[in-house]
Amino acid sequence: MSANPTILVVEDEALIRLALVDLFEEAGFEVLGASDASAAMALIDSHASRIEVLLTDIRLGKGPDGWDVARHARSQRDDLPLVFVSADSSADWSEANIDRSVMLAKPVADGDLLAAVRAGMKGPEQ
């Protein structure tokens, strides 16, 4: 983990995305933000080697969803930690069967979100 790890935040609701960017920047992260799956996939394609964790909502408006973003990210980096956040897709997480990922139900306390991201970046216990 680098001194200022890079997180990709994918959230279609602008106010939530801005709050997440602020939260992670204040916690010392470099933040890449995307408002939809297509923008997220483009960022993954151009920055895959420096993204250390992906945080994505599931429902991202029309087009691909957060599951698609995660699969795309893993096609570039199979070890990338994933944190999913959703108000209504938690039940689909086990069906999606995406290993080394965490699902959090909205609303999520800032501390819980930071803890999940940091735990994912540490990886499984040795």
CA 101 to chain centre: 9
Domains of the chain in sequence order: 6-122 (3.40.50.2300)
Taking only the tens of pLDDT, the chain with its 126 residues reads 557 899 999 999 999 999 999 999 999 999 999 999 999 999 999 999 999 999 999 999 888 999 999 999 999 999 899 999 887 655 565 566 676 788 888 888 999 999 989 888 886 543
Q: How deeply is 86 buried, as exposed, middle or buried, from its count of CB atoms within 10 A (0-12, 13-18, 19+)?
A: buried
Neighbouring residues of 98: CB distance < 8 A, sequence distance ≥ 6: 67, 70, 71, 74, 82
Q: How far apart are CA 61 and CA 73, in angstroms?
A: 19
Cα angle value 61/67/100 (rounded, 5°): 145
